[in-house]
Amino acid sequence: MAAGVHDALPLAIVRLMPLADGGEGLVDVLAQPLGASLRRNTVQGPLAGQRVDAVWGFSEQRKTAVIEMAAASGLGVVPLQKRDPRWTTTFGVGELLLAAIGAGAARIILGLGGSATNDAGAGMAEALGVRFLDGCGNPLPRGGMPLSDLARIDCKDLLPFGAEVIAAVDVQNPLTGPWGATAVYGPQKGLRPEDVVPLDRALDLFARIAARDCGSDPGRLPGAGAAGGLGAAVVLFCGGVLRPGIEIVMDALRFDDHLRQTDLVLTGEGSLDVQTLQGKAVNGVLAHARAAGVPVAAVAGMLGEGMGEAARTLGLADFDTLVNGDTSVELAMRDALALLRVRTSSLIGRHL
């Protein structure tokens, strides 16, 4: 995009500011402003018996850890043919939280994007000492579907959580229901249509028993459905708070300060669609730029259905896409860098 700007306006001063909204890239983006070094732990992956090497960041000076749940339990570590969120687990996320506390973290920023899981965070909670029991008092297998047999949540061995946990979310979906974790995001993780309702019912049972045994009902909390319900578990078992990830990142990078010296903001994402409105990076950038009176233009991979007019309603001064009448999705993915440069240059030309 920067090269495209210079193609159209060679003397332009371009400031590059990579952003993340809670998914992949959060550690890379926050490491420098927090003064964090990278660490690596081998933890339980999303699949049974799987071990993964997860990278996270820790700032000794600030006693702050930055963790991406996707590093332990993300889609990127599950082969396409093995994706099935009925059985994947967030246990490795809990192991990373324990590693951060063991390192001396007083504050943990936990990114909840890019998950391969839909277990309401039960795996994470189990790693922290919580037990999920069936009607006979036996521990349940890990995964979201086994929660359909949940009878009791035992928190007596839950480790004291001395660190402040801030969950960086990029969605506002509740835990269950038509806009919940399972119905909206389950199919993106490999869930078959016929399995949506049974898995959603399992998470609904989890929410009802949590309300009884843990004194709190996470079912309707905005953002509880992030990362397959991990948002709910962070609040329930870690005493954490849910905050838009883009806000956390922009605060750390002093985004508003840079806006004062800016004539145009360029941003983008893979697809401008209804999820853009749910707390994604583009939406956060628009809100801050609008408050500062700075126009925003976007280059996206493609437009979601019905988003042509909606993109302008969002407040975008202009936008372009890699996929259009002459460019297929396959071609756009293959030649993304070259196309991004051309589209950006064209957009800047129109803006001038």
CA distances from residue 201 to 142, 198, 204, 230, 243 in whole angstroms, order as listed: 16, 5, 5, 16, 26
Strands (E), the chain: 37-44, 51-59, 64-68, 107-111, 131-133, 152-154, 164-169, 241-244, 265-267, 271-272, 296-300, 302-303, 318-321
What average pLDDT score do residues 235-249 get?
94
pLDDT tens digits along 265-277: 999 988 887 666 6
Asked whether the beta carbons of 66 and 109 are under 8 A apart, the reply is yes
pLDDT tens digits along 80-124: 999 999 999 999 999 999 999 999 999 999 999 999 999 999 999
pLDDT at 316 > cutoff 90: no
| Predicted local distance difference test score (pLDDT) of residue 179 | 94
| Predicted local distance difference test score (pLDDT) of residue 269 | 87
Residue extent(s) of CATH 3.40.50.10350 domains in the chain: 2-14+254-351
What DSSP letter does each residue of 3-36 carry, written as one string? HHHHHH-TT---------SSSTTHHHHHHHHHTP
Tokens of 102: 């063991």
What average pLDDT score do residues 236-252 get?
94
Residue extent(s) of CATH 3.90.1510.10 domains in the chain: 26-246
Q: Which CATH superfamily is domain 2-14+254-351 in?
A: Glycerate kinase; domain 1 (3.40.50.10350)
User: Which has the closest alpha carbon to 227: 191, 271, 187, 181?
Assistant: 181
User: Which has the closest alpha carbon to 213: 205, 201, 224?
Assistant: 205
Quote the CA–CA distance of 36 and 56 in Å, as a whole number: 9
pTM of the shown model:
0.89
pLDDT confidence bin for 279, thresholds 50/70/90:
low
109 burial class (0-12, 13-18, 19+ CB within 10 angstroms)? buried
Quote the CA–CA distance of 207 and 215 in Å, as a whole number: 11
| Predicted local distance difference test score (pLDDT) of residue 275 | 66
| Predicted local distance difference test score (pLDDT) of residue 170 | 84
| Predicted local distance difference test score (pLDDT) of residue 277 | 61
Quote the CA–CA distance of 267 and 309 in Å, as a whole number: 18
pLDDT at 15 > cutoff 80: yes
Q: What percent of the chain has pLDDT over 90?
A: 83
Between 307 and 161, the higher pLDDT residue: 161
Q: What is the mean pLDDT of the chain?
A: 93
| Predicted local distance difference test score (pLDDT) of residue 171 | 86
pLDDT confidence bin for 185, thresholds 50/70/90:
very high
pLDDT at 150 > cutoff 70: yes
CATH topology of domain 26-246: Glycerate kinase, domain 2 (3.90.1510)
| Predicted local distance difference test score (pLDDT) of residue 308 | 67
pLDDT at 304 > cutoff 70: yes
| Predicted local distance difference test score (pLDDT) of residue 310 | 66
Between 316 and 347, the higher pLDDT residue: 347
pLDDT at 284 > cutoff 70: yes
pLDDT at 151 > cutoff 90: yes
User: Which has the closest alpha carbon to 280: 305, 312, 247, 251?
Assistant: 247
